[in-house]
Amino acid sequence: MFIKKELIIFLAIMPIFAGEASFTVDFQDCRSGSFPKGWSSKDEANMTKVYSVQDVEDNKFLHADANKISVTIGYDETWELAKYPKLKWKWRAVKLPKGSNENIKLGNDNVLGVYVVFGGFPIPKTIKYIWSETLPVGTELNSPYSSKTKMIVIRSGTENIGEWIEEERNVLADYRRLFGKPKEKPIAKGIAVLTDSDNTKTNVIGDYDDFANSK
């Protein structure tokens, strides 16, 4: 069922509250070993099994360790993409899934996935930026669960595994291209992350840090 991975993205960041025009999430105000402050999930029973804040050399970051499980967590933030079109973050792949293939439901697992959520009911429009095990960088495809989720492979395979990588995407340009809305001015409703391994029944590990929107 699509609800497993697509509707849950919407539920993970409800309720939505109006936020500042620009934002930064760096986890520095979170307690090491705890679930991250300001994040939420509808799967409260399992969210702490996957996600926790870790501290290495005075830098705090979000650590994800998913063993045969899929749990999405979201962060409420509303901003106009016409004013702040870019999203920046850092991530680090530590352990990839085995046998993944994002083209099919039974293979749709990622060591790292970052969503920008736009809204819509019951299934929101989302863009998911992924680190794929197998698909080449630059691949753009619909989620096998819902065509309202557009996925872009921006990292692939074991190259740079274990290293922090800084990413920057023009989300406004991606939205307009992927959804065929060249003049639309979408409103972002939040971000979400998903490190999951329920389909491949493997163990995947990755880290996230320093989310920020920008002009």
22-26: list long-range contacts, CB under 8 Å, 24+ apart. 22/79, 22/84, 22/212, 22/213, 22/214, 23/77, 23/79, 23/211, 23/212, 23/213, 24/210, 24/211, 24/212, 25/75, 25/191, 25/210, 25/211, 25/212, 26/60, 26/209, 26/210, 26/211
Candidates 103, 112, 120, 114; CA nearest to 181 is 120
Candidates 5, 62, 2; CA nearest to 198 is 5
Convert the pLDDT of each residue in 156-208 to its tens digit: 999 999 999 999 999 999 999 999 999 999 999 999 999 999 999 999 999 99
Q: What is the pLDDT at residue 119?
A: 84
Q: Which CATH number goes with the domain that contains 27?
A: 2.60.120.260
Q: What is the pLDDT at residue 18?
A: 46
Residue range of the domain that includes 42? 2-214
Over the range 145-155, which residues count as b (16 or more CB within 10 Å of their CB) and which as e?
bbebbbbbbbb
Kindly tell me if the per-residue pLDDT of 91 is higher than 80: yes
Q: What is the pLDDT at residue 139?
A: 98
Kindly tell me if the per-residue pLDDT of 15 is higher than 80: no
Domain count within the chain = 1
pTM attached to this predicted model:
0.91
Kindly tell me if the per-residue pLDDT of 19 is higher than 80: no
Q: pLDDT grade, residue 123 (50/70/90)? A: confident
Residue 157 is inside which H or E element, if any? none
Residue 212 neighbours by CB under 8 Å, 6+ apart: 22, 23, 24, 25, 87, 88, 89
